[in-house]
Amino acid sequence: MGDHVLPARVRRLAAPDRIAQFVAVGTVGASVDVALLALFHGILGIPLVPGKLASAEISFLVMFVINERWTFAEFGKQTVEARIRRLVRSNAVRLGGLLTATVVLVAVYRATGVWYLVANVVGIAAGFVVNYSLESLFTWRVHH
């Protein structure tokens, strides 16, 4: 790989406008996740980890739709098949962020006794870098 290729790829990955959009979408997703976790665990009594997994999956779908239409709208084909492939890829790559977020949620909750929703926000923040990197590189392939 030539030296001239890497900086262009890094610039595309680290585009400030796209990162800001991803943060905005992530804020919507985090709000959905926290609200649903409060419903599932706090109100319905679903155990913490299964409740977290369900709230995260629903928030993934919400974020995918917004990212597909806004953050990464100029990347990838717009056919139904291409969108379904990106949705499947997005779900797969977000597992890294979900794993990070869930491990941090449980660790912070158990270690500090902080309210589970606060621990969840800390976990979501920890998963952000993983999610942005994987989504950019593997779902929408901004480096191509």
Give the model confidence (pLDDT) of 5-21 as tens digits: 557 666 666 778 878 88
User: Using CA atoms, how far apart are residues 129 and 97, in angstroms rounded to an integer?
Assistant: 8
Q: How far is CA 98 from CA 8, 43, 87, 91, in A?
A: 29, 22, 16, 10
- DSSP-H helix ranges across 38-135: 48-66, 80-112, 116-134
Which pTM was predicted? 0.76
Q: Could you report the per-residue pLDDT of 91-111, keeping only the tens digit for each?
A: 998 888 889 989 999 999 999
Q: What are the CA-CA distances from residue 30 to residues 57, 82, 126 (Å)?
A: 11, 26, 12
